Homo-oligomer: A and B are copies of this chain.
Amino acid sequence: MERFFLALADGTRLRLLNLMGEHEICVCFFVLVLGQSQPKISRHLAYLRRAEMVTARREGKWMHYRITMPPNEGAAKVLQQTLAWLKEDAAMQQDWTRLRRACCSPAKFVALAGAPAPSVVSG
């Protein structure tokens, strides 16, 4: 349980989880939206992976991350509630806005030309 909360106890990781929500997102979008170095993003994603809070899927050159609900019911509820809390936060909402902008007109972001857009998690 310690591990679980340690995974949540970092601003960058909370921002990543907020962006994922119920979507599957490519690393390049994280880097763009958070405006942080790629190694930093990657390290935090690795931490979340080790904590079994997200899973990664490779698609060609790109890696997609999504949240995986913990098997334990209590933990899942806490995570859900945490995500709901994040949605109410102003800074987190800004991240969301930035993500939408990057998705809907990726042409504006040269770095993302052709990058796979975030998609809603099916199952």
User: Which chain A residues have a beta carbon within 8 Å of chain B's beta carbons?
Assistant: 1-2, 5-6, 8-11, 14, 72-75, 77-78, 81-82, 84-86, 88-89
Contact between A82 and B89, CB atoms less than 8 A apart? no
Q: A5-B6, A5-B14 are in contact. List 9 more A-B contacts (CB 8 A).
A: A2-B9, A2-B10, A2-B11, A8-B9, A72-B85, A73-B88, A78-B81, A78-B85, A81-B81
Do most interface residues of chain A lie in helix, strand or loop, or is the interface mixed? helix
- The 8 Å CB contact of A74, one of B72, B73, B84, is B84
Residue in chain B with minimal CB distance to A80:
B81
In the assembled complex, which residues on chain B have CB atoms less than 8 Å from the CB atom of A73? Answer: 88
Across the interface, A88 reaches (CB within 8 A) one of B10, B14, B74, B84, namely: B74
Q: In the assembled complex, which residues on chain B have CB atoms less than 8 Å from the CB atom of A6?
A: 5, 9
Shortest Cβ distance from residue A72 to the other chain B in the assembled complex, whole angstroms = 8
Cβ of A88: which chain B residues have Cβ within 8 Å of it? 73-74
Asked if B89 contacts A85 (CB within 8 A), the reply is no
A85 to chain B, nearest CB (A): 3
